[in-house]
Amino acid sequence: MKRLTSKKLTVGRRNVLAGGGALAGIGLLGMPAIVRAAEPIKVGILQPFSGGLEALGTQGAQGTELAFEEANAAGGVLGGRMFEIVKADTKTDPKTAVEKTNELIRRDGVKAIFGPVTSANRDAIQPTIDRYKVPLLYATDYEGGVCSRYIIGYSALPDHWVAPLIPYVLENYGKKLFLLGSDYVWPQKMNAAISASAEANGGSAVVEEYSPWGVKDYTSTLRKIENSGADVVVLTVVGADAVTFVKQFTAAGLKDKIRIVFFGFSENYLAGLSHEESNGIVTASNFTASLDSPEAKAFVKKVRDRHGADAIVSNTVDAHYTLAQFYINAVGKAGTDDPEKVIDAIGDQTLMSGNGEVHLRASDRHTDLNVLIAEAKNGEMVVLKNIGRVSASDQCKA
């Protein structure tokens, strides 16, 4: 760390130099004494900053960093200890995610890791997380079913999003669904839940299809959709591939005939689409920047004060920010940065998110979230229905 010589940090009634420098003073018997600043608490941010999901990775990092910056500005924790962030790029690749997880833990000595995005990356690094007993704080929606002492989730599960949204879709847009997802575990498990919900509520999935990463031409899929008789396309395609699909779907003239319901859609995607392309897309979310509530307005303001007036404030930012706050509080409750004691302290907390109070359960270390059904309209997300707090099933009992 840099040696600082001018900026002071007050800890209790003592003045010490901030950072890793040293201050010579007068010790016992007149001997020189070295007073060092408290060691920082290192936390890792493991996100895809390249490889196709960099928009989501950047948003997750911004939310996490903002929470730790605020904690440091307020004097840190445990009598003045600051948080130090170490960032690593998964490149949207499970093998790279494992390599970077090992580096963060064994080389950098982080006490916790925030990220990544995909279930494939999370599943790949879980054995490393469990082996070294370093908590992974995961703030991305996923398919459910993870039960590990060392994984803490601020994650929308099928109970949060599928259960309320699919009946709404069947009632308002049509009974026949064409399911299109990226070819990995989250879309596959989500589509199983979507199909089950559709059948239970008088609808059906007429086609279920998966596309590989990096598709440039969806022409054949668009023909299948047009000929399927579907009323709604339900997307679990992620990242740049989803933007490509929506653009080509719109250019093919299908938006006037078939509705798009898009799980994981947010302000991140709005930035890459024209109003013509995005208008009418429906999703479920825990937060939208246009939400008319005091906590939402306050959160949008603090993000834009930090990152500029044009900063995208998405569900991804809010989820990572709030989960980082849960971790910061747990360090204070535990009175230490020891991972085992922090994990013991992190559960059974309630905090104000950008969309109302949320509760992190001690039983399975997942969070009860507030859910919205929203629609894209002229470059922002408009709330169609506020579902309120949804408590998903216990993932260690499911």
User: Residue range 138-165: average pLDDT?
Assistant: 97
pLDDT of residue 275: 97
Is residue 32's pLDDT more than 60?
Answer: no
Which residue, of 247, 266, 285, is where some domain finishes? Answer: 285
Among residues 270, 285, 300, the one where a domain terminates is 285
How many structural domains are present in the chain? 2
Contact 239, 52 (CB under 8 A): yes
pLDDT band at 52 (very low <50, low <70, confident <90, very high): confident
Q: Does 249 lie in the same domain as 183?
A: yes
**pLDDT value of position 145:** 94
Lookup result for tokens 């580096």: 103
Average pLDDT across the chain, whole number: 91
| Lowest pLDDT segment from 70-74, 110-114, 204-208, 236-240 | 236-240
Q: Please tell me whether residues 117 and 68 are part of one structural domain.
A: yes
The answer to whether position 171 is within a domain reads yes
54 lies in the same domain as 112: yes
Q: What is the pLDDT of residue 29?
A: 44
Please indicate, yes or no, whether residues 97 and 70 belong to a single structural domain of this protein. Answer: yes
Establish if 373 belongs to a structural domain.
Answer: no
263 and 176 together in one domain: yes
Mean pLDDT of 376-396: 96
Are 272 and 168 in a shared domain? yes
Residue 247 lies in a domain: yes
314 touches 57 (CB < 8 A): no
| Three-state DSSP class for residue 22 | strand
Q: Which of 292, 245, 278, 324 is nearest to 70 (CA)?
A: 324
Band of pLDDT at residue 10, cut at 50, 70 and 90:
very low
**218 by DSSP, 3-state: which?**
coil
Q: Do residues 145 and 170 share a domain?
A: no
Look at the block and give the residue holding tokens 């910056």. 69
Give the pLDDT of residue 1. 39
| Mean pLDDT (whole number) for 191-203 | 98
Element (H, E) at 285: strand 282-285
Q: Tell me, yes or no, whether 15 lies in a domain.
A: no
User: Which of 37-41, 236-240, 310-314, 317-321 has the highest average model confidence (pLDDT)?
Assistant: 317-321
CB 258 within 8 A of CB 232: yes
pLDDT of 268: 87
Are 187 and 228 members of one domain? yes
Exposed/middle/buried for residue 152 (C-beta within 10 Å: 0-12, 13-18, 19+): buried
* The two structure tokens encoding residue 140: 């991305």
pLDDT in tens, 295-325: 999 999 999 999 999 999 999 999 999 999 9
For residue 20, the model assigns a pLDDT of: 38
pLDDT number for residue 37: 65
Under the banding of pLDDT at 50, 70 and 90, the label for residue 19 is very low
pLDDT band for 273, please (50, 70, 90 cuts). Answer: very high
Q: Any idea what the CATH number is for the domain that residue 226 is in?
A: 3.40.50.2300
Structure tokens at 186: 């989250």
Whether 101 is covered by a domain: the verdict is yes
279 and 179 share one domain: yes
Inter-axis angle of helices 294-307 and 315-334, nearest 10: 90
| Same-domain pairing of 267 and 361 | no
| Residue 108 is assigned to a structural domain of this protein | yes
For residue 36, what pLDDT is reported? 54
β-pair type (232-236, 176-182): parallel
Cis status, amide bond into 116, omega within 30 of 0: yes
Counting residues of the chain whose pLDDT is more than 70, the rounded percentage is 90
35: pLDDT strictly greater than 70: no
pLDDT above 50 (res 356): yes
Which residue is listed with tokens 């989500």? 190
Same domain, 146 and 180: no
Residue 28 lies in a domain: no
Q: Are 29 and 80 in contact (CB under 8 A)?
A: no
pLDDT band at 362 (very low <50, low <70, confident <90, very high): very high
Residue 229 tokens, joined: 């008789």
**Maximum distance among all Cα pairs of the chain, rounded to whole angstroms:** 90
For residue 132, how far is the Cα from the chain centroid?
Answer: 23
Residue 385 domain-assigned (yes or no): no
For residues 174 and 86, state if they share a domain. Answer: no
Enclosing domain of residue 47: 41-156+315-365
Q: Regarding beta strands 232-236 and 259-262, do their DSSP bridges make them parallel or antiparallel, or are they unpaired?
A: parallel
